[in-house]
Structure 1
Amino acid sequence: MNLLKKTTIKISLVLLLGLVFTSETWAQERSNQEPRTSPNATVSQTIGTTDITITYGRPAVNDREIFGELVPYGEVWRTGANESTAIVISNDVTINGHELEAGTYSLYTVPNKDKWTIIINSKLSWGTQYDKDKDILRFEVEPREADSRERMMFYFEEVTNEKATVVLHWENTKVPFTIKV
């Protein structure tokens, strides 16, 4: 990838993070300076020379049944709270065997008991303004049982210079997928 494309992607990342922080301030102003019920979070990981950043809202379980109830099975979920979950990738990658160009995307999912569909979409939006026509990539993964986690979070496991596993973890469910550079 040429230097101009890398520079453009890094500038896009800075602008996206600025937008997230600006929108957070705007949302707090709308709510009279009260903290968000589902606070924003950002996690980043460098794999080789590729930077991956995920920005999302962190809803809590709050004594609710999450998957199959609050988050219905078989329906597109924004995968977090508030704005779309954003994933920024600085270089071209392969996600679970599917090629994806560097860029800024939204990450949606379709949860089911035995399999989840991960959706990489080109439209960033507030809430559930999902547009299937903007899907760039869809693939299926198997969820795993996990220790209970009150607040939803993304994190990276098994990080090497060639790949890492991204994990969505909430309630008693982990949903992993692999990014290779």
Structure 2
Amino acid sequence: MKIIYSAYIKISLVAVMSFFISATALAQERGNEEPRKSPNATVSQTIGTTDITITYGRPAVDDRTIFGDLVPYGEVWRTGANESTALVLSDDVTIEGNKLEAGTYSLYTIPGKDEWTIIINSKLSWGTQYDKSKDVLRFTTEPQKADFSERLLFYFEDVSQESATVILHWDTTKVPFTINI
């Protein structure tokens, strides 16, 4: 058991270190260390023994029309501000029935009025440098009406030992997807 736990710690540290090295490189790429208009945030959840971490920029509504205007329907959106939204998985998981290996990924979306496409991509980048050839997984989900949220927010609901639902929430829209271990 001690050997397995030690290996788990090492794998987790490698994943976290690779993310922070990427984040440092991306900060250098943007060229400054000034406070951001869309500050970064990180949310983590353990499901069983699997750690899930999402790091993203949090843009504000600022009296703008978000979905269908600032974020057009039918086009790839970086799903946050600044760098790519990062999804770090300590172990292999299943997302909406699709297998995904442990690792660090970017998360993009294609918003729609009645359906959203969630894109898991292997390339982390600054801004909108999306590369479709690096897509690892795509699936669809239905958006839901929600209470107003001024800033983009990711959080977890319905957490159990086997699964959790990730919620992307901004303005009056929630977009859920389920991760199973």
Q: Could you tell me the TM-score, scaled by structure 2's length?
A: 0.91
C-alpha distance in 2 between matches for 1:123 and 1:90: 17
Matched AA of 1:20: A
Is 1:20 matched up with 2:23?
Answer: yes
1:57-116 Cα distance to aligned partner (Å, 9 max, x none): 000000000000000000000000000000000000000000000000000000000000
Which segments of structure 1 move beyond 3 Å, counting only runs of 4 or more?
A: 2-6, 21-24, 26-29
Residue correspondences, number: 177
Are 2:164 and 1:160 aligned?
no
Is the alpha carbon distance of 1:27 and 1:41 closer, same or farther for their aligned partners in structure 2, counting shifts above 3 Å?
A: farther
Q: What is the Cα deviation at residue 5 of structure 1?
A: 7.3
Q: CA RMSD in A?
A: 2.0
Residue 147 (structure 2) pairs with residue 140 (structure 1):
no
For residues 113-158 of structure 1, the C-alpha deviation after alignment (integer angstroms, 9 at most, x for no partner) is 0000000000000011000000000000000000000000100001
Output the TM-score relative to the length of structure 1. Answer: 0.91
The SS at the match of 2:14 is helix
Helix, strand or coil at the partner of 1:136: strand
Once residues 88 and 28 of structure 1 are traced to their aligned partners in structure 2, the CA distance between those partners, rounded to angstroms, is: 22
> Map of 1:82-101 to 2, 5 A cutoff?
82-101=82-101
Q: Distance in 1 between matches of 2:20 and 2:156?
A: 19
Q: Percent identity?
A: 66
Identify if the C-alpha distance between structure 1 residues 148 and 74 changes in structure 2 by more than 3 Å, giving closer, same or farther: same
* CA shift for structure 1 position 13: 1.7
* Structure 1 unaligned blocks of 5 or more: none
